[in-house]
Amino acid sequence: MMKEPDRAGPSRRRFLQGAGTTLLAMTILPSGLVRGVAWAQMPRATEPEVFASLVQMSRDCYPHDRIEDKHYATAVEILDEAARASPADRDLLEKGMAALNKSATERHGMPYAKIPAEADRVALLREIEQTPFFQKVRGNLVVGLYNQKDLWPLFGYEGSSFDKGGYLNRGFDDISWLG
C-alpha cells in the first residue's frame, strides 16, 4: 500500500485560516483593542468585537503587565468554545458584553474595550461583578489563564512535583519570591 505524498504549499484550509486571522487583525488592530502582539485565535461562536472585549475584560480582571494578550485570548477561547457548544452560553456572553458596552457608552461615550483608563474599566466591572456574565468570565480565567504552562515560570510555579519525587526534596521551603 502506497502512502500519498504530503502536499507542499498552501492548502485551502491554511489559506482560509490565514485570511480569517488577517481579517480579524485588520478589524481589531486599528481600533486599539489589542495591545502588544496580536493573538492567532479566531472566535468561532462569538462576534470578533465580543471576543476582543472579553480579552480586555480578562486583562482588567487579572492584570499582569508581563503577560501578552495572546495568553488572555487563549483563556477567552475556552469561553468561545463553550459558546459554540451552548446557545445559552453564547447568549450570556453576547448579552453580558452588550450590557457592559451600553453602560460604558452611557458613562464614557465609548464601548468598554475602548475606554483608555484602566480604572474606569475596572469601575464598570465592579458594578457587574455579581452577575452571571461576570462570574462566568472570572471563573473561566482562573483555570484558562493560570493553567497555561508557559506562564508558570512568570509566577514562580515549577509545575507538578509528584513526577519528580515530590516537594520534600525539591525545595518545598524555597520561598525566595516572598522576600
pLDDT digit string (tens) for 138-163? 999 999 999 999 998 888 887 777 77
What cell numbers appear for 115 in the block? 475606554
Q: How confident is the model at residue 42 (pLDDT cuts 50, 70, 90)?
A: low
pTM above 0.75, yes or no: no
| Half-sphere CA count of 114, side-chain side, radius 13 A | 16
Average of pLDDT values for 112-139? 97
So where are the chain's domains?
40-155
Q: Which residues contact residue 95 at a Cβ distance below 8 angstroms, ignoring those fewer than 6 apart? A: 133
Residues 82-105, mean pLDDT to the nearest whole number: 94
23 SS3 class: helix
pLDDT of residue 78: 92
